[in-house]
Amino acid sequence: MGLGGTTLQTLKLATIPTTSSSSSLRFVFKPLSQSFLYRHSRRRPALQLFFVRGLSAPAVQATATATPKTTNPDEKGMKQQWKAAIDFKWIRDNKDAVAANIKKRNSNANLEHVLELYHKMLNLQKEVERLRGERNVVANKMKGKLESSERQRLIEEGKNLKEGLLSLEEDLLKLTDELQQEAQCIPNMTHPEVPIGGEDFSTIRKMVGTPHEFSFPVKDHLQLGKELDLFDFDAASEVSGSKFYYLKNEAVMLEMGLINWTLLEVMKRGFTPLTTPEIVRSSIVEKCGFQPRGANTQVYSIEDSDQCLIGTAEIPVGGIHMDSIIAASLLPLKYVAVSHCFRTEAGAAGTASRGLYRVHQFSKVEMFILCQPEESDFYHEELIRIEEDLFSSLGLHYKTLDMASGDLGAPAYRKFDIEAWMPGLARFGEISSASNCTDYQSRRLGIRFRSSEPALTNPKKGKSNLAPPQFVHTLNATACAVPRMIVCILENNQQEDGSVIIPEPLRPFMGGLEFIHPKPR
């Protein structure tokens, strides 16, 4: 489920002291050991599927195991610098295709400015190389026997070249940073089968079930929750503000039941369970393709720090293997993560946002896959199939949508949404999404894999004969967004006497509870 929005909100939270937080946070984001990954990975046969060319260059040769950065990112308010492996030459050579993609995705990326900066950078690089060459010539001349006047002239010339070179190198660094910032706004390329246009142009892939028929007036989840004493929005509004809530009584059991049932069902399909940090560095949010401090954000940023609250577990899970190279034999890596999520939901209003449908804090179970490029279409289909199986098991009436280009976030190459029928709203409401982000996130996070097979060409003397590392593809999907699932369960399973039937798969996870009955007055 996306992280769109319009305004930035900040949290005034106390930052954790550097002396105690640095080591613990580094431990959290350390890549899992290969032995652990091997035990929990299940290899699928590779399929020859359509592969989109990423917007970045092939991976540079690197060591087999990445080492953590040595910079201290815990300094208060420090802005972490990072660079995505963007293939500017490919962008330049495919300018028309990239421009068309930006337009159909309604992106505000400025391609012309990116190409202008790239042209300037190339020219500046040539000038830097020219000066370096001249400096080397002067240095070589000074190695021989020279008249004092000639030596003094060369010393002055070398000094001038050094000063000019330092100035140009500083200009090159600034230009490179500006180019990176502009180019990072360019969205991922789009799957050729994605419908073009705004959200209304999304197409239905599948329709499952039919709306429940009721012989009595239908209540929405707010009315049901009040009569069954399941949540308290008024007290939460006083304590925390609007769009917060307390779950009470059977609603607490329902949340725990949904999480545990979903977690076990997904684990049966070979996913490794995780709980994640719920505070991450702003740079991690950016690397996953979101804008934590931009004009359009739903991210809560922590004041006077470089940290944010997560809007989805996709972000901390994506960071686990940051700056590492994974053995191809360990792919795919499949994770299912449980976390709280925090979103500003700025601009949300109207009846569709009432109650639990759109809130600032909620629990969610998220699936995340890292795989080889030729397999990502296959695993995208697997993710949406898992979601459909889960929602069918709960007896929901839903439709699966192939989302149109204008509704795709920057990282998504293709996105499938599932919308369930909500009788109280008398409409379908989004309950999950599944996105294939190809190598958009991995090029920013620095996550690559290396095949054990030797390179096709003979390596230079002393060089490894291993094939160069490639960027993995990443995928994410919502297995269970708890508040909206509660909305669906309450509204679709309400009875004339005011009770609600608990879906059968959840009962073993709720102490055998079959009904939620109105409380005696």
Annotated binding-site residue numbers: 312, 343-345, 359-362, 366, 430-433, 476
What residues contact residue 148 under an 8 Å CB cut-off, 6+ apart?
Answer: none
Instruction: Give the residues across from 339 on adjacent strands.
Output: 364
Angle at 515 between CA 512 and CA 518, to 5 degrees: 135
Q: How far apart are CA 260 and CA 257, in angstroms?
A: 5
Find the distance separating the first CA and the last CA of the chain, reported in whole Å.
Answer: 39
Minimal CA–CA distance to 411: which of 344, 338, 476? Answer: 476
Q: Is 387 helix (H, G, I), strand (E, B) or coil?
A: helix
Residue 330 identity = L
Angle between helix 250-267 and helix 482-492 axes, rounded to 10 deg: 110
Q: How far apart are CA 43 and CA 127, in angstroms?
A: 49
Count CA atoms closer than 13 A to 17's CA, side-chain side. Answer: 2
DSSP 413-476: SEEEEEEEEETTTTEEEEEEEEEE-TTHHHHHHTEEEE-SSBPSSPPPTTS--BPPPEEPEEEE
Phi, psi of 481 (to 5 degrees): -95, 105
Q: How far apart are CA 441 and CA 368, in angstroms?
A: 12
Minimal CA–CA distance to 242: which of 349, 351, 360? Answer: 360
Phi-psi region of 399 (alpha: psi -120 to 50; beta: other; left: phi over 0): beta
Going by the annotation, the residues of the binding site for L-serine are 312, 343, 366, 476
What residues contact residue 98 under an 8 Å CB cut-off, 6+ apart?
Answer: 55, 91, 111, 186, 189
Going by the annotation, the residues of the binding site for ATP are 343-345, 359-362, 430-433
- With b for 16 or more beta-carbon neighbours within 10 A and e for fewer, the 339-351 pattern comes to bebbbbbeebeee
Count CA atoms closer than 13 A to 106's CA, side-chain side. Answer: 10
Structure tokens at 65: 């195991």
Structure tokens at 490: 């309450």
Q: How far apart are CA 358 and CA 360, in angstroms?
A: 7
Instruction: Name the residue with tokens 């509704």.
Output: 407
Residue 40 identity = H
Residue 203 identity = T
Instruction: Give the residues across from 333 on adjacent strands.
Output: 370
C-alpha pair distances (Å), 327 with each of 46, 77, 333, 389: 15, 36, 11, 31
